[in-house]
Structure 1
Amino acid sequence: MSVITDIAATYRRPRRVVARLLSYGKREDSALAILMGSCIFAFISQMPNLARKAHLDGQELNMLLGGALFGWIFIAPLMLYTVSWLTHLVARLIGGEGDSFGARISLFWAMLSASPLILLNGLTAGFIGPSPALNLVGILWLVFFLWFWISGLFVAYWSKK
C-alpha cells in the first residue's frame, strides 16, 4: 500500500498497519525513511509559527528556520532512536517478547501517522497563535500519537506471532 493509504488506515486500525509493516522484515532503510519523513513534516509544521514569530518579534526568519531545520533533521532523529531503544528496554523488562526494530517502527510510524495533526497544529500556531484552539489541536495530536505508538508496541511485543 502507499504511505498515504497506510496513514489513513492507521486512523482506523493502527495495529493492522504496524503488523503489516513488521511483516516486511527488518528493513532499517524503511525505518529511517519513515523517521526522516516524519521529521520533515514536523519541520514544515513549524514554518507558519516561525514566520509569525519573526514578524511579531522582528527576528530574522532564516535564522529561525535554520535552527528548526537543524533540530528536526539532525537532532530529533538521534533523540527518537534513543527513545525507541529505551522503550525497547522497558518493554522487555515488563515481559515483551519483541526486538528493538519493533520499537523503532512503532515510534517512527506513530510520528509519521500523526503528521497530519502536527501540520494542523503548525497552521493553528501560525494563523491563530497561542489560544485554546492551539491547545486543543496539540492535545488531539498527542492523543492520536500515543494511541498509534502504544498500539504499535502492543503488536511488536505482545501479539501472538
Structure 2
Amino acid sequence: MKHTLLIFVSAVLLSACTNNAKEDAAIKQQAIVAVKDSLKLDSFKRAEVKKQEDQKVAARVNEEKRMLLLSERNEAASAPAPREYSEQAVPAKKKGWSAAAKGAVIGAGAGALGGVLIDKKDGRGAIIGGVVGAGTGYLIGRDKDRKSGRVQPKN
C-alpha cells in the first residue's frame, strides 16, 4: 500500500508541474507578429504621406515652370527681332585640370617618393621614379579623358 500511495503522490506531483513553454512560446510569437504587422502598417502610412508630399512638390515645380515659360514667351514677343550677325554658338570651354594633368602630377609625386625610398643615393631614385610615375599617370589620365569625352579618341 505504501508503494502504491508513493507512486500515486509522485504521479500527482509530476502532473502538477507541467511545463507551459510551448504555450508561452506561441504567445510570444503571436506578439512579435503583431508588432511587426503594426510596424509595417506604420511604414506604409509614412510612405503614403511622403508620396503625397512629393506629388505636391512636383505639382508646385510644374506650376513654376509653366509660369516661367509664359513670362519668357511674353518677353520674347515684346523684344525686337535679332540682328542677322548675332553671336554664333560658342562651345563652353572646359575648365580645370584634365585627368591627364592630374595623373601626371600625382604619378610624379608618388614615383619620386617611391624612388627615394627604394634608391637612397643622392636623389637619383627620386628623379627616375618621378619621371616614370609622371609618364604612367599621364597615360592613365589621358585614357580617362578619352572616355569622358574631354579629348577626342583617335580614329
Class of the TM-score when normalised by the shorter of the 2 chains = under 0.3
TM-score, length of structure 1 as denominator length: 0.26
Structure with bigger gyration radius:
2
